[in-house]
Amino acid sequence: MTTHAASAGPLRVGLVGTGPWARLTHAPALAAHPGAVLSGVWGRRPEAADALAAAHGTGAYTGEAGLDALLDTSDAVAFAVPPDIQAPLAARAAGAGCHLLLDKPVATTVAGAREVAEAAERAQVASVVFCTLRFAGGTAGWIAEQAAAGGWFTARALWIGALFAPDASSGPAASPWRREKGGLWDVGPHALSVLIPVLGDVTEVVAARGPADAAHLLLRHTSGASSTVTLALGAPEGAVGTEVEFRGERGVSALPGGGGDALGAFRAAVDALADAARTGVAHPCDVRFGLRLTEVLAQAEAALGRA
């Protein structure tokens, strides 16, 4: 198996997926990126792949043979499909020697996420999981600063959305996997992607159900600190909000508002993948970190099932 070269010229990135995130973020960010080329779009629906590819001046692919053709002409693959569709396709892409730009969560089963991580390790390909706040201009530096500061006693994270309000019509609101898995799996990775770099890995998970799809988690971390997390997509509109707050020796530090646009964050994730592919140095938010997020969320899901 030969990993596709990433050092000569722009990184050729194929896009797997044609849904709202692919149309609004992935495709336009890749097409406009100065260090990347959108090498093609693969979709399960030929008409959607054709439309998205035509909008960005690239080729459309579909079906098994089409996926193989896209992988053959790409150095890397970006994914914008549901997590449990993403996982086997990503393992296949890694096996073809393509670097991986994955959406979160990598999968909603530990076995699925582990399959991708092991495939990437065998193939020695680079990987990045697009946890938005780890790449957004207004938040990435803040997370690094809190990790460097240390001395934290506890933290609180809250991700509450009204995605399932009766008049909600956005693409994510119509996503079957989000309706099935709820806030735990959709926004849980965002919360953990901020907490774990600052407080350390999760050593203990306690979980309780709230109204609608709300999940309340109590976590212990390797630093000794604790954190509480509230996650929901089915809240009333007046309850919507995102907050992260650390409390410790140096006082209180809160997640800054206006973290940056999704396009800018995705461009930064492409840069991170290209750098990891070029240097061979793993990014902190790689597929192994994505596997760990799935493990923690699966543990929380099991605890909620017993609650």
The CATH number of residue 171's host domain is: 3.30.360.10
pLDDT tens digits, residue range 159-197? 999 988 666 555 666 689 999 999 999 999 999 999 999
Indicate whether 62 and 95 sit together in one domain: yes
Mean pLDDT, range 148-167, rounded to an integer: 91
Residue 1 above 80 pLDDT? no
pTM for the structure as a whole: 0.94
Indicate whether 130 and 23 sit together in one domain: yes
Indicate whether 230 and 271 sit together in one domain: no
Residues in the chain: 307
What gap in Å lies between CA 128 and CA 182, rounded to an integer? 24
What gap in Å lies between CA 273 and CA 134, rounded to an integer? 13
- Residue with token string 């899901």: 301
Indicate whether 86 and 176 sit together in one domain: no
Indicate whether 75 and 23 sit together in one domain: yes
Phi first, then psi, for residue 225 (nearest 5°) are: -75, 160
pLDDT tens digits, residue range 31-52? 999 999 999 999 999 999 999 9
> Which tokens in the block code for residue 283?
């990014």
Tell me the pLDDT band of 3, cut-offs 50, 70 and 90.
Answer: low
Domain total for the chain?
Answer: 2
Residues of the domain holding 49: 11-134+263-286
Task: Judge whether 4 lies within some domain.
Answer: no
Phi first, then psi, for residue 219 (nearest 5°) are: -120, 145
pLDDT tens digits, residue range 43-98? 999 999 999 999 999 999 999 999 999 999 999 999 999 999 999 999 999 999 99
pLDDT tens digits, residue range 18-32? 999 999 999 999 999
Task: Judge whether 299 lies within some domain.
Answer: no
Residue 273 above 50 pLDDT? yes
For the chain, what is the mean pLDDT? 94
DSSP H or E run through 296:
helix 287-306
Residues 6 or more apart in contact with residue 271 via CB below 8 angstroms: 35
- Cβ 117 vs Cβ 52: under 8 Å: no
